[in-house]
Structure formats: C-alpha cells, structure tokens
Amino acid sequence: MEKVREIYIHMACGHHASLPFNSLCVRTCVRGVQSTQEKQACREKSMQDRLRLGHFTTVRHGASFTEQWTDGYAFQNLIRQQESINQQREDIERQRKLLAKRKPPSSSVSQSPGASLAEPKQRKNKAVNGADNEPFLKPSLPQLLTLAEYHEQEEIFKLRLGHLKKEEAEIQAELERLERVRNLHIRELKRISNEDSSQFKDHPTLNERYLLLHLLGRGGFSEVYKVGPLMTRHTHHTPPSGDSNGLAFDLIEQRYAAVKIHQLNKNWREEKKENYHKHACREYRIHKQLDHPRIVKLYDYFSLDTDTFCTVLEYCEGNDLDFYLKQHKLMSEKEARSIVMQIVNALRYLNQIKPPIIHYDLKPGNILLVDGTACGEIKITDFGLSKIMDDDNYGVDGMDLTSQGAGTYWYLPPECFVVGKEPPKISNKVDVWSVGVLFFQCLYGRKPFGHNQSQQDILQENTILKATEVQFPVKPVASNEAKAFIRRCLAYRKEDRFDVHQLGSDSYLLPHMRRSSSSGNLAASPASSSLISY
C-alpha cells in the first residue's frame, strides 16, 4: 500500500504524467497489492494444512538427499482408527471360535430341555474327575450352551462385525476424500516452492502491458503465470524467437489471461534454439487463427529477450482432465459422453477450416475442464504437435508423418509406429483414435493399451502395433452403444476407422438417441469388426 500512497502524493502535487497514466499506475499497484495479499493467504493456509495433511521432509541417504512425504494428523488418526477396528475384529473372531466350541450338538434340537441341560453337567463332571483308569485329571471342557444361548451370542457377534464393517467403510471413504485434498495440497506446496524460486515472483510488468500476479505452474522450460494487461493497445508483433503461455488479467477489460513464459537453456547450441523458435512460431501461427468455443483462444505473443518469450492465452479457472482422473479415477458414461461430444465438435471445426488441422496430441492433460468438473464445458489446448493438411503436404492417402517419435504414445494409433523406407501416412483418423482412448479411460479409469507401461516400454515392446482389439473390463458397466463407439474409434486399420466427419455424425453422439442394450449390434459394423494387422 505504500507504493499506492506514493502515487497519490505525486498526483496531488501535480505530477506531469497524464491522468490515464496515473490511473493506470494506481490500478496496477492495487492489483499487485491484492495479489501479494492473496499469495500470503495461500502460504498461511498451506502452513496450516501441513499439520493436518502432511509435508515433505529432507532425508539423507549416504551422500545424497531426497524428499520424503510425512502424513499429517488427519491421516494418522484415521490409520489408528483402522488399526483399532482390525483389533476389535480379531477379538470378535477369537471369541466366535471359543463360542463354536460351546455350540450344542445338533441332536439337542430333538431332545427335551431337561436332557439338554443334563448333558453339559455330565460332561463337565467326567472331565473334572477323569476316567477310572487315568491317573491325571484332564482340563475342563468348555461348558456347552443351550441352543438359544448360542444363537443369542452369535447374533451379537454378527451385529458387532456388521457395525465394524460400516465404520471401516466410512473411514475408507474419508481416507479417499483426504487423499484428493492431499493431492491438491501437494500441488500447492510445489507451486509455492516454484514461485518462490522464480525470477518473476515480484509482480513485474511484461511488454508494458501484462502484470504478473502469481504462478500457476511450471513445466520443463516454461512457467505459467496469472497476469493482467496494463493497457488495451493491440499491436502486431514480429513472430518471436520462442514461446510460452501464462495467465493474465486485463485491468481495463477486466479479463484474466494465461501467460506462459518460455526460457531457453542458455547452454543450448544456436541450432537447437533456432529449431525451438521455429517450432514455437509455427504453433503460434496455427493457434492464432482458431476461433471456436471448445478451443482455448490465443490472444498475444511477444519476446522478452533472445532466450525468453511469452504467449498470452485464454484463462480457464478449472483443472485439466488428467488431474480430474487422478483425483476421481473415472466418471459416469453421461459425463464422459458429454466430454467426447465437445471434443468431436472441436475436431469437426479443425477439419472444416482451410487448411484443415490434425491436433495429434489429444490427451487428458490437453483437455481443460472450464469449471473443474466433468459435467461442464471443456476446451482443447496445446497445438505444439499439430499438423497442417495443406495441398502441398496432404494427398489421397494422407500426409507424411515427419515427426515420428513425438507425441504421447498411449493416445497414438498403430500407423504412427510403423517403421519403413517411407514415413507413414496419417490423417485426422489419428485424432479419432485418441478420442477412443480418452473415452475408454474416462469410463474405466485406465488406458486400453499399455496402461502400466512407460513410453519407452511401449516403443520397445510394440504395444500399440499389437493393439489389434480392445478388451472391455466387466466393471464398471458401460452401455453396448458406448463400447461400439469405442471400437469404431479404435479400429486397428486406419482404412476401417471412422474419420472426424463420420465420427461427428455417429448415432451415439446424436441427441435424443434411444438407449437400449439391444442396439449393441453396432459393434458388428465393418469399421469396428476389422482387426487385420499390418
């Protein structure tokens, strides 16, 4: 607030700057102060959550140091409750075994009450006194109960076990909820640590327009910041020698945006830097022309220096689909279908513009959930690997895949892994395969191919080249129509796979479709039944 006070003093003393400039400075300082207060509040909350949810500690192993996670008291209390329940269950089972030894013989059902009472007494006396020909006394046998007494005690044990089972389920549900909260807490701890070590942490103004508010995340060579532009001028820039994305807030238009700051390694060779710059400029040119409600908009780009450049994108408040699936594992078919419908709608747009575009990197991390839930709007982002299907590169058989090896292998189709004298041909059917993998993962909480494999293992073991048929788990249950749709997306031979236009007209995605398990005969269509390998 001291900086704001100084500006007001300058204004009162007749500062030579124009009134819009003074007003702009005040808004800038106020926004910076607000951001500082928000950052302080985040750190205070994080410190409180450290005790409840846990924290990282540095542990020494020989000459090296590693970070180790320690759970907070909330988890420790639940673990103690689980241990107490297990102990109580063991005690009850032990008592049930003792009770079984006192169970009356089945023949006692037909005996008179007097006979059933006399038999335990006779057995007890015989056990204590011993047989006539035995010199030592035998230990007393458990006194038998009447049938009514036995069933009464057995019922008590069953009720106690049922109560413990209910308590255990409640504790497990609370543990799962806490784990989701802990994931958010861990992500916030890492974000704060990255922000504190960033050179942009003190709210600098970039390009005389964008006020950095706080760090959203950090990648390999980039940082994503929430920022605010200081003026509304729109100038054309020469394509930068690099790119980055970030988050911003327009102080004039009241609009947040995402700013990604890319910082190249100063030790890179000039050739490598130049290639990175060309790739960045290409992505910008592709993304800049796109205007669709299901695609993140690109607002601006500029360079800070020869090794640092930025791009300004539309800001989405929620998380991406990858984080959602890590938190919730899967979702309902209705929610997954809604997400797929929106993705396909965006893909149809990409294939209707001239020249058409293949995204090539559709995966959960590039699907943004606008409000962070699975029942809202989505937006596709990251066009770094996209392909332009212009007349010079695209023919009847598709276009050459010149960047073989790039991408996320779990979501790429078999034709992207074929090695030969000529590069493989690809089309928009690459994105169709990715849609099928995404849909499967949303429904079942796992990838259809190479689920527990690394990208290196997938490549070495030819996992995708062997993915001739998709297998559906028994649980959770999905409709036959959904399975048939996935089969059409994951048809092994690209000749048998739907293209984007066919997928957009698929009956499963059309509104008011009658849902019945009997319509599962769609799975027998040629596009879904062909499993011929190369």
Q: Strand 222-229 vs strand 210-218: parallel, antiparallel, or unpaired?
A: antiparallel
Which residues pair with residue 259 across a beta bridge? 225, 312
Which of 243, 307, 361, 431 is catalytic? The answer is: 361
Burial 54-73 (b: 16+ CB within 10 A, else e): bbeeeeeeeeeeeeeeeebe
| Percent of the chain residues topping a pLDDT of 90 | 46
Residue 291: predicted pLDDT: 95
pLDDT of 109 strictly over 70 = no
Q: Greater confidence, 308 or 109?
A: 308
**Strand locations in 244-321 (E):** 245-250, 255-263, 298-305, 308-314
Give me 461's structure tokens: 């073991």
CA distance 508 to 482: 7
Give phi and psi for 465, each to the nearest 5.
-65, -25
Is residue 368 classed as helix, strand or coil in its secondary structure? Answer: strand
> Residue 461: CB partners within 8 Å, gap ≥ 6?
453
Domain extents in the chain: 1-52, 72-107+141-187, 198-315, 321-529
Question: For the chain, how far is it from start to end, CA to CA, in angstroms?
Answer: 68
Residue 247: predicted pLDDT: 52
Q: Could you report the per-residue pLDDT of 332-362, keeping only the tens digit for each?
A: 999 999 999 999 999 999 999 999 999 999 9
Distance of CA 188 to the CA centre of its chain: 15
User: What is the mean predicted confidence (pLDDT) over 494-513?
Assistant: 90
User: What is the mean predicted confidence (pLDDT) over 31-54?
Assistant: 86
161, 89 Cβ separation under 8 angstroms: yes
528, 506 Cβ separation under 8 angstroms: no
Give me 139's structure tokens: 């230990």
pLDDT band per the 50, 70, 90 thresholds, residue 22: low
378, 339 Cβ separation under 8 angstroms: yes
pLDDT of 231 strictly over 70 = no
CA distance 367 to 317: 13
Give me 483's structure tokens: 């399975």
CA distance 397 to 172: 53
pTM of the model as a whole: 0.76
The question of whether 305 is a catalytic residue gets the answer no
Residue 404: predicted pLDDT: 82
State the amino acid at position 22 in one-letter form.
Answer: N
pLDDT of 521 strictly over 50 = no
Q: Where are the alpha helices (DSSP H) in 332-462?
A: 333-352, 429-444, 455-460
pLDDT of 462 strictly over 70 = yes
Give phi and psi for 470, each to the nearest 5.
-90, 135
Instruction: State the burial class of residue 136 (Cβ atoms within 10 Å of its Cβ: 0-12, 13-18, 19+).
Output: exposed
- Mean pLDDT comparison of 20-24, 209-213, 466-470, highest-scoring range: 466-470
Q: Where are the alpha helices (DSSP H) in 197-269?
A: none
pLDDT of 523 strictly over 70 = no
Give me 237's structure tokens: 């820039």
Helix (H) or strand (E) holding 400: strand 398-400
- Mean pLDDT comparison of 222-231, 291-300, 518-527, highest-scoring range: 291-300
CA distance 242 to 282: 10
pLDDT of 164 strictly over 90 = yes
Q: Greater confidence, 171 or 312?
A: 171
**180 φ/ψ sector (left φ>0, alpha ψ -120 to 50, else beta):** alpha
Length of the chain: 534
pLDDT of 131 strictly over 70 = no
Residue 221: predicted pLDDT: 65
CA distance 251 to 227: 10
We find that the CATH architecture of domain 198-315 is 2-Layer Sandwich (3.30)
The average confidence (pLDDT) of the chain is 82
- Mean pLDDT comparison of 93-97, 113-117, 139-143, highest-scoring range: 93-97
Q: Could you report the per-residue pLDDT of 401-440, keeping only the tens digit for each?
A: 887 888 899 999 999 999 888 888 999 999 999 999 999 9
| CATH classification for the domain delimited by 321-529, as one of 1.10.510.10, 3.55.50.30, 1.10.3470.10, 1.10.10.60 | 1.10.510.10
- Whose structure tokens read 């006396």? 125
Residue 9: predicted pLDDT: 46
- Whose structure tokens read 């100063």? 266
Question: 72-86, 121-135, 475-489: which range is least confident on average?
Answer: 121-135
Residue 11: predicted pLDDT: 44
Residue 19: predicted pLDDT: 46
Q: What is the DSSP string of 474-509?
A: SSS---HHHHHHHHHHT-SSGGGS--HHHHHT-TTT
User: What is the mean predicted confidence (pLDDT) over 516-524?
Assistant: 43
H/E/C letters for each residue in 43-60? Answer: HHHHHHHHHHHEEEEEEE
pLDDT of 472 strictly over 90 = yes
R_g over Cα of the chain: 33
